[in-house]
Amino acid sequence: MKKILFLFSALILISCREEAPQNTGSNSAGKAAFSEELQVTTNRRVELLPEARAEVSEWLAYATAQNEMQNLRNSTGHDILESSNSIMQIMESLKESTPDTLQTPAVQSRTNVLVTKAKILHQLSNKKQKDAEEIFEVANDLIVEFDNFKLQLNELFLKTPVDFEQELDEEFEESLESTSSDTLPLLR
C-alpha cells in the first residue's frame, strides 16, 4: 500500500514539473506581446462641432477623458495595464459630471458604454493570466466608443429640418424687406 501511495505521489510530482516550463514559455510570449503598441483599427477621428466644443469647454472630466483617449492611441500593452484603473475612474467621473444641458438619454447611454468598457479593461488588466490580445481589443473598443460619444454630442447640436426651414424662411423675409425698400412702388 505504501508503494502504491509513493508511486502515485511521485507521478504527481513529475507531472507538475512538466507543466512548469510550459507556463513560463507562455508568460514570456505574453510579456513580449505587452511591449507592442496598440494598433487602432479605425482611422476615424471625430472632431466636435463649434457648438458642442463650446458646451464641453469647461467640462473638466471631458477634457481629461479626451486626453486619456489620445494617450491610449499611442500606448503599449504595459501602458494600458498601468492606466486601466485611472481610465475607469475618468470614465466614471465623465458619467457623473455630465452637464445638465447634455443630460439626454443618448448621451447617458454613451457614457454607460464608456464606463462598461473601462471596467472590462480594468478587470482584464487585473487578472492573473492576462491576455494581451483581449486587452488590446477592449482598449481599441474604448477608443471607438469615445469617438461614438463625440458623435452623439455633435448630434445634439445639429439643426433639424424644421430649424433649417425656419432659418431659410427668416433669410427669405429679410431679403424681401431689403429689396422692397430699395425698389420703387409699382405704378398701376
Beta bridge partners of 76: 37
59-78 confidence digits (pLDDT tens) = 999 999 999 999 988 888 78
| Residue 18 in this model has a pLDDT that exceeds 80 | no
What residues contact residue 102 under an 8 Å CB cut-off, 6+ apart?
Answer: 55, 56, 153, 156
d(CA 86, CA 43) in angstroms, rounded, equals 25
Mean pLDDT of the chain: 80
3-class DSSP assignment, residue 37: strand
Most confident option among 34-38, 128-132, 151-155, 171-175: 151-155
| Residue 23 in this model has a pLDDT that exceeds 70 | no
pLDDT band at 183 (very low <50, low <70, confident <90, very high): low
Domain ranges of the chain: 50-156
Q: Give residue for cell 505574453.
A: 30
pLDDT top residue among 158 and 182: 158
Mean pLDDT, range 23-33, rounded to an integer: 51
Please report the sign of the dihedral spanned by the C-alpha atoms of residue 43, residue 95, residue 97, residue 85: negative
